[in-house]
Every structure is written in structure tokens, then in C-alpha cells.
Amino acid sequence: MTHTELAPAATATSGSVRIPRPASPYQGDIARYWDGEARPVNLRLGDVDGLYHHHYGIGEVDHAALGDAEDSESEKKLIAELHRLESAQAEYLLGHLGDIGGDDTLVDAGCGRGGSMVMAHQRFGCKVEGVTLSAKQADFANGRARELGIQDHVRARVCNMLSTPFETGSAAASWNNESSMYVDLHDLFAEHSRVLEVGGRYVTITGCWNPRYGQPSKWVSQINAHFECNIHSRREYLRAMADNRLVPQAVVDLTPDTLPYWELRATSSLVTGIEEAFINSYKDGSFQYLLIAADRV
């Protein structure tokens, strides 16, 4: 099936969202991937409190919150703990957005099912605009916003993050939470730089390969194949930011903070098979989990 056959018109509709034609065959693949995604490790964690994430966790495991082998609630407790660590990751990202007021607008580039957007609105009271390639995800995120009565403030749309409809200089802050490995970084940061006001803040949490290791390891290649993504190097992030008026204000290596999440997840019934690649690549130094917060100058 060709790209054109997939999306014959410039736009189509699904639920509440308009679907523009994918900008490339690859973006069509990614849209299909996320439209079809329904892994229990994501849905059952989201069911804990209605915040649905597609990113990983950070922080120490609270062993007291976990049940022992005889505890009939142990699986439920483990799921709640993994979810707590994923929400802690999003809070950590939001904590780097700076001083955000209720009148500000934030942009979530690659917003998934919208968990981070809801958290951002709850924290700052501001508007949050999200974009995803997946109509299913955008519908889901908008459905959650309606259920929470915050649809005037939190909105997801189907849109390419490299070419957004947002006005130049209109966002006080923007972010990518584990979504920058699907795009060219120069194109991505050019668009964030355009949308951000001067003095605005850009934040990413991402997995990147470590130039000190040499080249992407077999584990990194396995992660790329698993998710159909293209993990960039740390060097590429910093270079592409520098080329687009984004000046790093904080670079935090979160690798030691995410390992407990992975080691706990590897013991759960919700494993997906990718746990070993994350654990091994973090341990052999070929892969790093980074937060980069940058000022738009």
C-alpha cells in the first residue's frame, strides 16, 4: 500500500480530531505504530490514577510499598509503584520549565496519551497544546481532558512536531518527553526555537547514545528496532541546540535514577522484552537517560 493510498485527502477525521497527511512514509509508520499500541504496561499503569504515560520512571523504589510474594495485592502494588516512578519523571521535567503562569501556553511535542499535559495544567493552571502523529492518542488525550473538565486548557492534535500551527514566539516553554528520537534534531529544534518566546525554556528527557562508547551499541540498535525510532547521540543534541538558539542551562544524567525503575519492571508480569536492552546499555555506558533544559536566547 502506498503512502498516498493511506491518506488520499489532505485531511481526514477520526473522533474529534482532524488527521493531516503524514509528512513522510516514516511518519505514516509511526502514526500506525502508536494508533495500534495498547500494551498493558502502559494502560494498566495509567488506570492507577488516569494519567497515561509513554515514558519511563525515575527515583528510588519504595520497597515498603511493594507486597511480598504471599501478598495477593503484590502485582497491583508493583504496578502502582512503576506508575509512581513514571509520574515522578514527568514532575521532574515540569520542574525544569521555569516560572510558568496561568496565562502562559506550553507545547508538548509528541504528547502521547497526554499524561504530562494534564500534570502540567494541574501544576501551573496554564494552557497546554500537545501534538502527536497518532489520531488514537490525540482522541484519548482529548477524551481524558473532557472527563477532567479541562478541555479548555489541555488539547491534543494530530500534527507533525516539525511543522506546528503555533504562532511564532507564542509558547513560554515547550518539551519533548521521550519523543525526540523520531525526528531530525536540527528540524526539531528549529521549530521549538520558532514557537518559543525569547527567554522561554525548552526541556527534553531522552535516551541518547554516548559518544564516549564509540558508536551505538547492539542494545541501542535493539531499542531502535523495537520502537522503530532512531536514537541520537548526546553530542548531536547539544550541537543541534547550539545551532538553534537553545542554550543548555542544565544537563542532568538520569541514568542512575532510571535503573531502579527498569530493574523493578523486569520483575513484573508486564514485561515487554525490551527491559534487558535498557538495563544492559545503561550499565555498559553505551546509552544514557538525560534531561536537557535550555534557554531560548
State the residues that interact with ligand GPP by CB under 6 A: 39, 41-42, 54-55, 178, 181, 207, 223, 227, 229, 231, 272, 274
Restricting to residues 80-99, which ones interact with ligand SAM according to CB under 6 A?
Answer: none
Q: Quick one: DSSP state of residue 36?
A: S
Nearer to Mg ion, 44 or 121 (CB): 44
Nearer to Mg ion, 245 or 265 (CB): 265
Nearer to Mg ion, 7 or 270 (CB): 270
281 scored as a contact of ligand SAM (CB under 6 A): no
Q: Nearest to residue 55, comparing CAs of 193, 181, 222, 232?
A: 181
207 scored as a contact of ligand SAM (CB under 6 A): no
Q: Tabulate helix, strand, coil % of the chain (nearest 5).
A: 40, 20, 35
115 scored as a contact of ligand SAM (CB under 6 A): yes
Residue 278 C-beta: closest distance to ligand GPP, Å = 8
Cα–Cα distance between 83 and 80 in angstroms, integer?
5
Query: Binding partner of residue 110 among Mg ion, ligand SAM, ligand GPP, none, CB under 5 to 8 Å per kind?
Result: ligand SAM
Using a CB cutoff of 8 Å and minimum separation of 24, what contacts does 37-44 make? Answer: 37/134, 39/270, 39/272, 40/270, 41/82, 41/265, 41/268, 41/270, 41/271, 41/272, 42/113, 44/79, 44/270
Residue 42 C-beta: closest distance to Mg ion, Å = 4
At 78 the three-state DSSP class reads helix
Q: Name the β-bridge partners of 196.
A: 171
Query: Binding partner of residue 229 among ligand GPP, ligand SAM, Mg ion, none, CB under 5 to 8 Å per kind?
Result: ligand GPP
| Sequence-distant (≥ 6) Cβ neighbours of residue 297 within 8 angstroms | 198, 199, 245, 246, 247
Largest CA distance in the chain: 57
Query: Binding partner of residue 27 among ligand SAM, ligand GPP, Mg ion, none, CB under 5 to 8 Å per kind?
Result: ligand SAM
288 scored as a contact of ligand SAM (CB under 6 A): no
Q: Which residues bind ligand SAM (CB under 6 A)?
A: 27, 30, 34, 53-55, 110-112, 115-116, 131-134, 137, 160-162, 177-179, 182-183
